[in-house]
Amino acid sequence: MSQNLVNAWYKGHWALWLLAPLSFLYGLISWFRRIAYQQGWLKSQKFNIPVIVVGNISAGGTGKTPLTLAIVNNLKAQGYCPVIVSRGYGGKTEYPALVTSQSTPQQVGDEPLLMFLQSQVPVVVAPKRAEAVAYVMQHNLGNVVICDDGLQHYALARDIEIAVIDGARGLGNGHFLPQGALRESAQRLQSVDFVVINGEGYTYPSAYRMTLQAASWLNVAQADCVAPQAPQKIHAVAGIGNPERFFKQLQQQGFEVIKHPFADHHQFVAQDIHFSDDLPVVMTAKDAVKCQQFALDNLWQVPVEAQLPPQFYAALNQKLQFILSRTSC
């Protein structure tokens, strides 16, 4: 997806009105498709395991992956055995596929590999999420499924829906793709179980506020080096849905940032991160999983952890316990 188009959604551009007919058609199809599943004209596959879907109604990065990992950690602390299922965007393999330590981003996608490495719970990828959940059931991999980025994947029935919104960018200009960022109308938020807003800015009734806390920097080449300290000039490389959020985070820490934005899920090559100077190069953990084979000693990753209020986890746990008690009757 063009970064210029994404910027236009959130900052405005007159040329977007040329896309209004396509936007109207997209919104109509989106509405009819959801109605078709609600009325049973199209079938959703239901499994005898709780399914929690984490997604968004707008295109671009909102913070779904950190939230998914935070929910996994919460469930593990409660004694559950969570499993993550994902589309595996950017990967190509035989589906469904179980992510392992030998998997590559080219096979299973960058986000599923990152989630496996950081959570150490089973991660199964398949474009048809129901096939991934069937694999989970067949191999008895866990007792709760968290579906990463599946809010519009209605072929998979779900028990809990969580919508994530970027606090700084909100819902953009309020138009459907491609004139705007919306995959579904803003009214869709009224039907989800939880709305989580990543960062300050956008507001929504009864939403929970999430912040992303940067963890200690890690050397991607696993070299025995001292992490860069602010104030220092650094190259910041980001192939995520919202690169500017990452750059701003580094600037707030006091670094002088040379920005290198790339499209979301960009397949990095050595030339993308090797520069003529010897300045430190910093990237997200999601990007770092794709660069380990050609990482130099000056390449660093910045893992982030989602921080949410205790009330969110309490409400989520209560909802999950209710679902389990109902299915056991």
Looking at the predicted structure, is the pLDDT value of residue 9 above 90? no
pLDDT tens-digit profile of 263-294? 888 999 999 999 999 999 999 999 999 999 99
| Confidence (pLDDT) at 173 | 93
Classify residue 61: in a domain, yes or no: no
Q: CA distances (Å), 80 to each of 3, 23, 72, 73, 149, in order?
A: 39, 42, 9, 10, 21
User: Residues 296, 170: contact at Cβ < 8 Å?
Assistant: no
Q: What is the DSSP string of 45-66?
A: B--SS-EEEEE-SBSS--SHHH
Classify residue 201: in a domain, yes or no: no
Classify residue 147: in a domain, yes or no: no
What is the Rg, in whole angstroms, of the alpha carbon atoms belonging to the chain?
A: 20
Classify residue 208: in a domain, yes or no: no
Classify residue 195: in a domain, yes or no: no
Overall domain count for the chain: 1
User: Residues 161, 67: contact at Cβ < 8 Å?
Assistant: no
Average pLDDT of the segment spanning 240-269: 93
Classify residue 261: in a domain, yes or no: yes
Write the Ramachandran bin of 207: left for phi over 0, alpha for psi from -120 to 50, otherwise beta: beta
| Confidence (pLDDT) at 195 | 98
Q: What angle do CA 41, 47, 48 make, to 5 degrees?
A: 140
Classify residue 282: in a domain, yes or no: yes
Query: What is the model's pTM?
Result: 0.92
| Confidence (pLDDT) at 251 | 96
Domain coverage including residue 280: 216-302
% of the chain surpassing 90 pLDDT: 85
Classify residue 259: in a domain, yes or no: yes
